[in-house]
Amino acid sequence: MAEFTLQVKTREQAGKDLYTARKRGLVPSVMYGHGVAPQMFWLQYLDFSKLYNKAGESSIVEIVPEDGKALNVIISDVQFDPLSNRFTHVDFFKVRMDEKLEAHIPLEFIGEAPAVRELGGILVKPLEEIQVKCLPKDLPHSLTIDLSVLQILGSHIQIKNIKMPAGVEALTDTDAVIALVEEPRTESEIAALDEKVEADVTKVEGVIKETPVSTEAPTKPSEEKREKK
């Protein structure tokens, strides 16, 4: 049985009454998969929001239609309103429990790197997730990375250093670095970086470098011309 369950309601027609339904707290969704006809559902906004915060896009979810049997899916895509950031549409992918699937699993960093705490190093995390392949029953919600192994400046953790759960195969290059500690920047390097940023900003089109305001009274009045946009 899946860890996460979501009640859904069958949606009869695509594109109909979307505005009214969303105002009522419903979210349109579509489920698709290999060898199955797409099915459309309505989701309760609050129920899906709570589930998505816990399950994300890397967990098996059991959706239960009001007039059918439960289906095992993963959340494959979520669309948001650009202004309100509210969910506007959800895609589910139906999985077969006897067929391996590929998914992106988020990395969960725990602990503190001694090379940062004691030596002043800079922690860099180039990757936030990796791609894996496994049976649905073996799909991990996240992969835990312990930063306490980063003892010295220059130390790093690669994907091949992760102890993968049983039945889970990493598809991302196993030599890829997921965390490392760089040497702290010197004062001269920081100053040089600040100078470079200042120079680059003044070259951006439309950016005018601010000049000091004169305390002397102008000899004659002047008009400010503003560009109409």
pLDDT (mean) for 7-25: 84
Give Cβ neighbours of residue 32 (< 8 Å, ≥ 6 apart).
38, 39, 91, 92, 93, 94
Evaluated on CA atoms 169, 171, 173, 178, the torsion sign reads negative
Domains of the chain: which residue ranges? 4-94, 101-182
pLDDT (mean) for 92-99: 93
Band (pLDDT 50/70/90 cuts) for residue 3 is confident
* Contact (CB, 8 A) for 109 and 145: yes
Least confident range from 15-19, 84-88, 97-101: namely 15-19
Tens of pLDDT, residues 196-211: 656 564 555 554 444 4
pTM: 0.71
Choose among 34, 199, 50: nearest CA to 101: 34
Band (pLDDT 50/70/90 cuts) for residue 17 is confident
- What value, to the nearest 5°, has the Cα angle with vertex 52 and ends 47 and 53? 105
CATH topology of domain 101-182: RNA Polymerase Alpha Subunit; Chain A, domain 2 (2.170.120)
Tens of pLDDT, residues 58-78: 899 999 998 778 999 999 999
Q: Mean pLDDT over all residues of the chain?
A: 84
Percent of all residues in the chain with a pLDDT value above 90, rounded to a whole number = 65
C-alpha dist (Å) from residue 31 to 38, 74, 95, 123, 170: 5, 9, 10, 40, 26
Q: How far apart are CA 111 and CA 151, in angstroms?
A: 12
Q: CATH assignment of 4-94? A: 2.40.240.10
Indicate if the pLDDT at residue 216 is higher than 60.
Answer: no
pLDDT (mean) for 152-170: 96
Tokens 């669309």: give the residue. Answer: 79
